Each structure stands twice: as C-alpha cells, then as structure tokens.
C-alpha cells in the first residue's frame, strides 16, 4: 500500500473515532420501547393550562401562547420505574424539560431561568445539584436539530443519555412515588420546542 494511502486511512479512522467517542448502544434498543404519542393528536395526554400544545405530522409542538401562560403536558398514565426516550428540537433560549415521578424530577431542556445558561440534560429538583449536571452535553448536542434524549428511572437512580452518550445521573430516594411523564412550556418565556418519536418502557 502506498504511504499516502496509509496516512489517509489512518486519518479517517481518527476522525471517525473522534465523532463516535463516548457513544454507546443503549439497552434496551429504541425499537423495544413503546410509542406513547400517536403523531396525530393528544390522545393519552392531558394539558395543565393554556393553549400551548398541538400535534401535526408526527411532531408534538409546544409553543408559548400570546400571554406566555406556560403549560405542562402530562401522560394520563403514571409510571414508577421507566425508560423514556424522545427526540427534541429547539432553537433560542427556550426553557423546557421532561418530568418524572412524584415529587417531580425534571431533566432540563434549554436555558435555566435561574442560572441563565443552557443546562440541557441536567437534573432540576428545585435546584441543580452539582453532581447531576450534564457537563458533557454541550459536546454532544446538535444545535437547532433533532437530538435523542433517553431518561431511565430505576429505583432511586436516574440516568440521562444524549444522542447515545451518557451525560448525567442523579440519585435520591425522595422521588419514590409513580407519576406521569411530563413535558414543559415554561411560563413567561417566548419559546417553541418540538418532540417526536416519544416512547416509554417499564423495565
């Protein structure tokens, strides 16, 4: 093999490794999880307030109303131990999240109102515990495009993967009661967030 060809192949291997470093095959695979959004309407979900949610073309859209009322969208069903997976797309300084259990555990999507910076995939439980912040998320997040987020709640341990990379975890026995899966449009913030391929599985 010619030297230039060997150098080219070596460089290609390094480039591919750099892109995929840290990414893993999640278990169970996405196909094993059950869709909980039908892509057509909000059947199986309930809206807490406002007029912020709509479904169209297999995408669930959460968008601020004129009064910036804010709203939560919850599954009608409650879950204890569960794996939740979805794709999310957003632009700008939105403030959203995925909610689990009771008392609620929130996985942040977008900018924290209190910290004034992006905390995507970090845990919020009235504050952002330092050990549960997703320090690696910025390296994995694809800005302005679809990102796959998986949250696993098993006993007292909560774990988040972003685009196949584990980016945060949180352990606390305080959030023990089953609760609905929730999605958020934050009050007082002009924002739009989109979700698709929303799935869940009780392991």
pLDDT tens digit string along 92-134? 999 999 999 999 999 999 999 999 999 999 999 999 999 999 9
SS3 string of 72-119?
EEEEEEEECCEEEEEEEEECCCCEEEEEECECCEEEEEEECCCCCCEC
pLDDT at 11: 38
pLDDT tens digit string along 41-82? 999 999 999 999 999 999 999 999 999 999 999 999 999 999
Domain locations in the chain? 25-201
pTM of the model: 0.87
Higher local confidence (pLDDT), 23 or 55 = 55
Q: For residues 10 and 13, give the distance between their C-alpha atoms in angstroms, rounded to a whole number.
A: 5
- The answer to whether the CB of 60 falls within 8 A of the CB of 195 is yes
For the domain covering 25-201, report its CATH number: 2.60.120.560
For residue 171, what are the CA distances in angstroms to 19, 158, 182, 200? 29, 6, 20, 20
Contacts of 135 (CB under 8 A, 6+ apart): 167
pLDDT tens digit string along 163-198? 999 999 999 999 999 999 999 999 999 999 999 999
């Amino acid at each position: 093999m010619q030297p230039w060809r060997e150098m080219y192949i070596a460089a290609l291997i390094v480039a591919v490794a750099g892109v995929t470093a840290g990414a893993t095959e999640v278990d169970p695979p996405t196909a094993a999880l059950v869709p909980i959004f039908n892509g057509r309407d909000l059947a199986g979900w309930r809206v807490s307030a406002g007029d912020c949610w709509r479904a169209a073309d297999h995408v669930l859209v959460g968008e601020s109303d004129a009064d910036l009322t804010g709203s939560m969208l919850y599954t009608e069903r409650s879950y204890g131990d569960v794996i939740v997976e979805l794709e999310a797309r957003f632009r700008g300084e939105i403030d959203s999240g995925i909610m689990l259990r009771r008392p609620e555990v929130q996985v942040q999507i977008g900018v924290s109102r209190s910290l004034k910076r992006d905390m995507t995939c970090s845990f919020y439980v009235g504050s952002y515990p330092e050990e549960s912040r997703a320090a690696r998320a910025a390296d994995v997040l694809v800005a302005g495009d679809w990102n796959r987020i998986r949250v696993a709640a098993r006993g007292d341990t909560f774990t988040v993967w972003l685009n196949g990379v584990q980016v945060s975890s949180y352990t606390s026995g305080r959030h023990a009661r089953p609760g609905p899966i929730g999605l958020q449009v934050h009050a007082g913030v002009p924002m739009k967030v989109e979700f698709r391929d929303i799935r869940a599985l009780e392991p």
